[in-house]
Amino acid sequence: MHTPAFPSDLVIDVHDLATIILDCHARSEVPLKTLQLVEINHGEASVATFENGDELLPDWAACNKEKTCLILRDCHRETNERLTLDTFARGPPKSVRTPNGCQPTRAELEDAYWRCKVHCHGYALTYAAGEVIAALPPTTKLRVRTAAGLEAFFAPADVSVAESVVNPREGTYIAYFDEGAGPHFTAPKVSITPSQVGVKGLVPWPWLVFGRRTGLGHPALDAMARCVLDLGLAQIGGHGLAGEHFALEREAEFYTKVLKKHTLEWCYPKERPLLTKEYMEHKYQELEMEAARKAIPNESAHFAFYRNTLRPKKGSDSTGKAISGRKASAAAADYTDMLGMAVKNMVLARLAKVASGSEEFCQHCGKEDTRSRCSKCHTVHYCDSHCQMAGWKYHRAWCSRPPQS
């Protein structure tokens, strides 16, 4: 796709960019379109969908920390319908089960939706965001504004990637199954495909870093001068400090308030330039070798990282064509690249419209279809009252406050 032309004095708000990236990512993922959410379980009781749930989902049953299990039914529907929060819980009213019999709130459904959409896609989203930033003019100003009131500007050349390993405070277990007969299912009647993040422990974790090191040799000073964008946080039920489905914070606050809240432990990250397809394949190969020699403490989570939800089909590449003797790491890298490029192209096209003034979008969820504005400043748009209320915690720090140039 041809990269749109942008003005040399372009200013991109990184918070807006993050919402648009997640919205475009939600549109680009095909597999979830045929799935229906049927149960949300936070570990307070056995899974209600299956009569023998503990036997069918042994990893879930054995997990002894905070956990959320999402059960999805594959309806095998032929549809071009975009999967949204409303269609994700499609079916008759009160169709989503919970162990206590209460219907989930909209906030719980939204949490489940984003856990599934972002599940194991932290690297793909970080890759896509890096590709978008690399495609912008080098003179672009990337404006970071946090809910704490920090405003800072960075050049595209000042953006890098940090890689850590985290132990999520809460494990997320997703199981989807083929449609069967009757409200309850037993082992002979159902084929279950499970995937998990954090149920067994450590998970590879990337994020974008805005800003260069101070050169003073003190990590604490660097952390006060730089900012972080974590686009994969929702897969473990995490939120930014203003309740966003991502984190955009000063680096020091990201460590002390976001990672500390949503993880039991994390390693100080290693930094590198923006991700490339070649690096992703190398990364997947490393994980394959670590898994082969049992050198990783959470094998299934690492496999989920490049195989389960990045999911090139077995025996095929990311386009569905048959392959012979091809390594899973190469197929996974192709899938990451395909997904990243699809998101990149969608985001760049939308940024061009935003820059020209021909598109308005919801500041909270990134959708183009907006129906309301902030009643105070009248400049920020939202798609509905729910997003307006959810987005106020971030927007109130900037409402009627003109941005710096």
pLDDT tens digits for 307-317? 433 343 343 44
Mean pLDDT over residues 137-165, rounded? 96
Confidence at 201, pLDDT banded by 50, 70, 90: confident
Euclidean distance between CA atoms 235 and 293, whole angstroms = 27
Q: Which of 196-205, 277-286, 385-394 has the highest mean pLDDT?
A: 385-394
Q: Residues, the chain, total? A: 405
Going from N- to C-terminal start, the domains of the chain cover 11-359, 360-405
Confidence at 293, pLDDT banded by 50, 70, 90: low
Task: State pTM to two decimals.
Answer: 0.88
Confidence at 172, pLDDT banded by 50, 70, 90: very high
Predicted pLDDT of residue 322: 37
Predicted pLDDT of residue 401: 76
Who wins on pLDDT, 231 or 293? 231
Predicted pLDDT of residue 313: 39
Q: Is 205 helix (H, G, I), strand (E, B) or coil?
A: strand
**Strands, E assignment, 25-110:** 35-41, 66-74
Question: In degrees rounded to 5, what are phi and psi of residue 204?
Answer: -60, 140
Mean pLDDT over residues 203-221, rounded? 85
Predicted pLDDT of residue 283: 85
**Strands, E assignment, 155-287:** 159-168, 170-178, 192-197, 203-210, 227-230, 247-250, 263-266, 270-272
Q: Is 129 exposed, middle or buried (0-12, 13-18, 19+ CB in 10 A)?
A: buried
Residue in this structure with the two tokens 């459904």, named with its chain if needed: 109
Tokens of 274: 């923006």
Q: What is the pLDDT of residues 221-274, one digit of tens each?
A: 788 889 999 999 999 999 999 999 999 999 999 999 999 999 999 998 999 999
Predicted pLDDT of residue 213: 84
Residue in this structure with the two tokens 């990311």, named with its chain if needed: 318
Who wins on pLDDT, 294 or 314? 294
CA torsion 302-268-154-2 (nearest 10°) is -20
Q: Taking a C-beta distance cutoff of 8 angstroms, is the pair 210, 158 a contact?
A: yes
Q: Taking a C-beta distance cutoff of 8 angstroms, is the pair 165, 259 a contact?
A: no
